[in-house]
A and B are shown apart, each in its own frame.
Chain A
Amino acid sequence: MIDFTFTEEQELFRKAAREFSENCIAPHVPAMEETGRNWEPVIKAACEAEMMAITIPEEYGGLGLGYVERLIALEEIARVSVATAMMMQVGGLGIEPFIKFGTKEQKQKYLPGLATGERFATVAVTEPSGGSDPKSCHTSYTKRNGSYILNGRKCFITNSHIADTQVVMAVDNDNCDAFSVFILEKGMEGFKAAHEEHKVGMRGCNTGEIELKNCEVPAENLIGVEGKGMRVAMAVISDVGRGGMVGCALGLQQACLEASVKFANERILYGKPISELEAIQFKLADMKIDIEAGRLLGYRAAALQDAGGRAGNEFAVAKYYTTEAAQRAAKMAVDIHGGYGCMEEFAVSRYLRDAYVLGPSAGTSDIMKVIISRWVLS
């Protein structure tokens, strides 16, 4: 038989993550929404609560936990603030190349700081030409005197302006089939965060461009094998990036359901709460079905990953299902709220905006179908 239950310890992790989110993140959400910024307090709080240390091995100052625990934490944070969960998830994405592909020296240098929050990370792959076709990457590198010179521009990068450590993919100027991945650090000459985006949803989550102009990167900042960087980028995006998006989507779905149940029990129509109307009940049931199905997909993929396997395909399925479901849930939540759902005082209007940012992040639903169909046909 298959055991679908969380361990007692995982339930405690969920409790800890929920309490943290409600006490330390929720108070900052209004200002994040209002300004589109105000990310500093939530990042600081999350790092202090060891949220970035989850998957980092204990020998490098982390907690040495798995991807199920990471998913639990992200789900609980996203239930309160998808914007914060997104920054956390991409921060984790920026940590993963060090764990999976870093040298011992790179791990020793970067991971302890990333675990405590002294450093914050991101991964920069997407360019104005697109993110789903990484081979069209224009950001290039040239080897010179034992270093690498990088030039180019990355866009839609979560944590672009706040990450101290950025893992950036570039193509060899002399070989368009050779991609490499480099560690860039804030303050390097020729490397800077440029335009800051103002998104329709996930407000308060930092997203922007980074610019590389003759940026000299020392050879020891190469992650993995030179020319084999696509493997690094794809491995972390498919296994960790999409897994993180599943956490964001599940948390948002749960928030939609909770808000809807509360409103439906309080809103009186025809002399009784609207939760007694079948039309409303069916929407709530649909939301619950999606959450249950999404959790099974997501946590199964994470458990596969924890067992030492690759779970990119399984996460593609989970990412497709949960982000689509989050959009459905947000629309239903707004519908249940009627006119109130269009008012910013009610969180469901935020949920709707956030839900539509989940779709393209870490690959659109159509790209997920491309991946899934390749899996099916392979």
Chain B
Amino acid sequence: MQRIGVFVCHCGSNIAATVDVKRVAEMALMEPGVVHAEDYQYMCSEAGQALIAKAIEEKQLTGLVICSCSPRMHEATFRKAAERAGLNPYMVEIANIREHCSWIHKDMEEATKKAVILMRAAVAKVNLNTPLQPGESLVTKRALVIGGGIAGIQTALDIADAGYEVDIVEKEPSIGGRMSQLDKTFPTLDCSACILTPKMVEAAAHEKINIYTYSEVEKVSGFVGDFTVDIRKKARSVDMDKCTGCGVCQEKCPSKKAPSEFNRGLNNRSAIYTPFAQAIPNVPVIDREHCIKFKTGKCGVCSKVCQAGAIDYDQKDEIVTEKYGAIVVATGFDIIKLDNYDEYAYSQSKDVITSLELERIMNAAGPTSGHLERLSDGKAPKEIVFIQCVGSRCSDDRGKSYCSKICCMYTAKHAMLIRDKYPDVNVTVFYIDVRTPGKNFDEFYRRAVEQYGVNYIKGQVGKVIPQPDGKLLVQGSDLLDNKQILKEADMVVLAAAIEPNPDVRKIATMLTASIDTNNFLTEAHAKLRPVESPTAGIFLSGVCQGPKDIPETVAQAGAAAVKAIGLLAKDKLMTNPCTAKPDETLCNGCSTCANVCPYGAITYEDKEIFDHGIRETRRVAQVNSALCQGCGACTVACPSGAMDLQGFSNRQIIAEVDAICR
């Protein structure tokens, strides 16, 4: 029989105002196994924890029930307190009488009754708890960063600077990500390349960093501290070691019709290419879809002109298998496809562009060498209209429900840069709200309006109609003046919503990291653990977790790095002991459990079993407790009930059911 102590927390008035805590404690004393019950103002406080420790010692308690807030909040706190007082931490159960009771019920009598029942269920469960011992597993002191944008680069640099090996996997031929495509950055207007390129170079040169470009994560197995990852190095068709990066192959390549991904398809590149001049590594890849040699077997110009003999048409994809202790996801974003926004004539007119395309147009290395011109006729625009929130803050399923966060600021930046360089160009911005929370952000926006005379109109644009003369007729409304606006523009720029990289869902599945309905990775706690995934050992860096600008991304990248370093600094990890455990005498060896295990944690072994006087060799299930995450799928699949989950055993859950239905 257990000796159980029940501790009822007032949580100030959060619980005590609606639940008669004294009565809950009194009722607890009538439950089987309960030898001690008391209430206190704040159980989680030092004084509260001291009460618990004292009772454990004086009453020789073997189990605790804390009636308090959600176990998601303080289970760990109370487990630690129990452990300090010499009790096995897994002998603690929480009755959630705050979130599930006092906060949702008003009637004291009713709430108290419910609190008593929740307490009884927890007592019934603790009666069946057994001390559990966490296992230990070793930590591989190496981190993987998925994504080589600014988030990934920063995370990798921070981890590497702390002295740990880091691999970056980037699916494009070069690291750099979205930031490398930007021209200037807000709110300081410094050039993006000028601040990013040194970081790229630093990462490439860092002795602790190894970069896999043109590579993708193929398979992930294992668990925190001990992940095994297969990385597919796509065939580059160019020998990384031999190539000198001279660029002659790209110059001579006769196939120059491939749309440049880096320039958002605004111009073309050769079939053998580096995405941009400052690419790292400065080694081209052959785009086999566009390469004449691969399409027809004839050509081979690049091979002929390559002095270094680096071209290798026979190169094949290569799978590299590496072990990691921590994985940081930094897969970033793209802008949404505008198929659902036909009214803005994006597909009909070359002069309706996205803001990211405008970045490329404004960039000296871009398709127009930095001249602001219409893509349809090369003329200088005189009238530019920006449309905000294209697909952001959308209430229907055409777009995204969230605010993309960066558009207000980059639009102010674009408007300002245009007005600065081309004072004769009129700039109009249609907006729903201008959101500028951030250091020096509002000042920046006000400068655009006050100093640069950008015309901000609160209202939405209903339609953009291409005119026969090449102009664009913008039909919008001005909500403040309550009037319809018709405006002729030479160029329309859409602030398209951002969305997580489409590959992230696949990656999240491999990592068993959770993802929300918008495909952003879920953090372990929205406020308190914003850079960790709920899956242990997986950390989140940058926009894959939610929309962010560059300073926020860099800050979060650093935070993710710190969390990863904290993990890598440990030699051993304690594993969650709430894992599945088979009763070998009941096991049929039928493999049903192994079929539903998502972690491959169940194997079978022929084992000598002594059961009811019979000694025989049987095929029985074995659980690798380091792999098992404790979901319990196997326990229900098992027809004989041989497989049980420690901490959530069949008898424990049934005891809770019984207590509730009593």
Decide whether A and B assemble into one complex: no
